[in-house]
Amino acid sequence: MNVVVQVLMLATLWACAGDRTSDQSTEIGPIEPTSTRMHVELNLVGAGNDMAKLLGVFGNQNYLVDSARSDANGKFIFDADTLLPQGFYYVMLASDNSYFQMLLGGDQEFSLSATKGDFVNSMKVDGDVDNDLLYKNLRFEADFGNRLNPVNKQLESLTEGSAEYQRLKAEQDKLVAERKAHVDSYVKKHPNSFFTRFKVSGQNPELTYPKLPNGEIDNNTQVYRYRKAFFDGVDFNADWTMRTPVYANKLRRYIRELTPQNADSLIKYSDELISKTVGNKELFKFTVNWIALEYKTPKTMGTEALYVHLIDKYWTKELAFWSNDEEIKGLRGEISLMKPSLIGKIGQDISMLNDKGETVSLYGLNTPIKVLFMYSYDCEHCQKETPELVRVYNQWKNQGVGVFALCLDEDKSKWLEFIRKNNMTFTNGFDPKRESRYERKYHIDITPELYVLDKNNKIIASNLSPEQLPEFLEAERGRNPW
């Protein structure tokens, strides 16, 4: 099967607790409190004289709300004079860290009874529709998974289009339709329940199958449609949206899996999502902070441009209400150092003395590809990676690749010894007084730091290790021969 189709199919089948309802015409009204206090009784067989913690959810974090000790028969009572925020909660037992789920909606006076070790199957709910629906759905999902998983596993081993594949695909489609009807039933029968709101928010879009002129699946359009509809069921204005795991899980998948990992796409789709959160201060704060932290030290080369963009656009006195003037100033100062050396920018020239006392410059390298290597002779990683750079240089020096190695230290004798010891025959520079202002032209957050410039001095790579250079150079030569 096509990898993209597989990923999207699995995402559709295993949405945040189900498949997305298509009944968009059903209006679900506001969730109005039906009680004025929280009083939850738990009767757990096998949990006598145990301690239970009530844990809430906020974004991608859990926090302690309350704790209660049971009597000898396993009866716990959580009680508060006011309602707790509506949302998704866990009850965890101290004896073995086993836990079960619980919803707190508008009605927070009810009781739950279950057997420790088999919470889902044994759970009985008295006095609350939301948790009654929650556990009916959990039992349905468990049974559904037992029926669907074998079909999925067999499909993975078959050739797409074969008779057996088509038979199993039809069976899979039938099961998916069954689940969709199951979810739709909540919207039709319980449109105003908190459980339904929670359930709808977690659904993933239905997978569409747009075709190219040759009849094959148009994967790009397929992913685009799926991504565009991914948050359709989420209520961006509801306070409880931050208080279930749904939004954090969707945000993670949206950014990491459904958005192409290049700076332009990440910036575009992050901005589109963030624009939907501006009416909910906590959701806005969580979204911009989560994405910024994710790409402050990115796993894909060049995507640090997203971090720069987010700080530049959202960390302002007007928008970053969670921050302070000092932090905002510091972050904006940090990205001012990053901006000049982002991939796609024209790398600036730097000039200094070499090991022979001659003036040399980065632009002075008479090669179509320039590698700027910045290191410290006391850095263990630099000591390990410099010999590898020397090896790569000797392999590529007759193929249009030059190296400008800049020492970031101040002891000239140690610098010269490092050059001699590693047989660094490429261009070496030393600027202990930083007269070239190299640190303002190229961002250095780790050592060694490596940049690659093309024949037009455009930065085409950064944060590579010398070991990764050959593969990158081969690929770049294929894309843009020099």
Query: Which structure tokens are listed for 319?
Result: 């928008």
Q: pLDDT higher for 297 or 194? A: 194
Asked whether the predicted pLDDT for residue 118 surpasses 70, the reply is yes
Q: What is the SS3 assignment for 250-276? A: HHHHHHHCCCCCCHHHHHHHHHHHHHH
Asked whether the predicted pLDDT for residue 198 surpasses 50, the reply is yes
Q: How far apart are CA 292 and CA 304, in angstroms?
A: 9
What pLDDT does residue 229 have?
95
What pLDDT does residue 386 have?
98
303 & 188 share domain: no
Q: pLDDT tens across 223-252, in order?
A: 999 999 999 999 999 999 999 999 999 999
Pairing of strands 99-104, 87-93: antiparallel
291 & 372 share domain: no
Q: Which of 218, 311, 221, 299 is nearest to 256 (CA)?
A: 299
Average pLDDT of the chain, as a whole number: 92
User: What percent of the chain clears pLDDT 90, i.e. is strictly above it?
Assistant: 90
What pLDDT does residue 29 have?
46
User: What percent of the chain clears pLDDT 70, i.e. is strictly above it?
Assistant: 93
320 & 414 share domain: no
Residue 476 and residue 403 in contact, taking contact as beta carbons nearer than 8 Å: no
Asked whether the predicted pLDDT for residue 4 surpasses 80, the reply is no
How far CA 481 is from CA of 144, 369, 372, in Å, comes to 54, 11, 20
| pLDDT band at 161; cut points 50, 70, 90 | confident
Residue 51 and residue 19 in contact, taking contact as beta carbons nearer than 8 Å: no
What pLDDT does residue 298 have?
83
201 & 317 share domain: no
What pLDDT does residue 35 have?
75
Number of domain units in the chain: 3
318 & 254 share domain: no
Which residues is 451 bridged to in the sheet?
Answer: 372, 462
Within 10 angstroms of residue 174's Cβ, the number of other Cβ atoms is: 10
Q: pLDDT tens across 168-180, in order?
A: 999 999 999 999 9
Q: How far apart are CA 44 and CA 113, in angstroms?
A: 6
Asked whether the predicted pLDDT for residue 19 surpasses 80, the reply is no
* Amino acid type, 263: A
Q: pLDDT tens across 385-425, in order?
A: 999 999 999 999 999 999 999 999 999 999 999 999 999 99
Question: Given 342, 367, 392, which residue is the final one in a domain?
Answer: 342
391 & 338 share domain: no
What pLDDT does residue 141 have?
95
Q: How far apart are CA 256 and CA 152, in angstroms?
A: 24
Q: How far apart are CA 397 and CA 475, in angstroms?
A: 17
**CA angle (105, 110, 116) in 5-degree steps:** 105
Asked whether the predicted pLDDT for residue 26 surpasses 50, the reply is no
Segment 326-347 shows an average pLDDT of 96
CATH number at residue 391: 3.40.30.10
Q: Which of 18, 44, 199, 39 is nearest to 119 (CA)?
A: 44
Q: How far apart are CA 425 and CA 429, in angstroms?
A: 12
Structural domain that includes position 9: 1-23+32-258
How far CA 48 is from CA of 42, 79, 93, in Å, comes to 11, 19, 11
253 & 266 share domain: no
318 & 330 share domain: yes
DSSP state at residue 369: E
Q: pLDDT tens across 35-87, in order?
A: 789 999 999 999 999 999 999 999 999 999 999 999 999 999 999 999 999 99
Asked whether the predicted pLDDT for residue 30 surpasses 80, the reply is no
Q: What torsion do the CA atoms of 178, 187, 233, 276 make, to the nearest 10 degrees?
A: 170
132 & 250 share domain: yes
Question: Given 213, 229, 258, which residue is the final one in a domain?
Answer: 258
57 & 126 share domain: yes
Q: Which of 354, 362, 456 is nearest to 415 (CA)?
A: 354
DSSP symbols for 415-454: HHHHHHHHT--SEEEE-TT-TT-HHHHS--SSSSEEEEE-
96 & 108 share domain: yes
Q: pLDDT higher for 375 or 208? A: 375
What pLDDT does residue 160 have?
87
What pLDDT does residue 18 have?
37
151 & 195 share domain: yes
Which residues is 41 bridged to in the sheet?
Answer: 77, 111
* Amino acid type, 225: R
* Amino acid type, 461: A
Question: Taking the chain, what is the end-to-end CA distance rounded to the nearest angstrom?
Answer: 38
Residue 363 and residue 349 in contact, taking contact as beta carbons nearer than 8 Å: yes
| pLDDT band at 7; cut points 50, 70, 90 | very low
Asked whether the predicted pLDDT for residue 24 surpasses 90, the reply is no
Segment 255-278 shows an average pLDDT of 96
Question: Given 196, 227, 258, which residue is the final one in a domain?
Answer: 258
How far CA 47 is from CA of 113, 271, 298, in Å, comes to 11, 48, 45
Segment 188-207 shows an average pLDDT of 94
Q: How far apart are CA 228 and CA 133, in angstroms?
A: 29
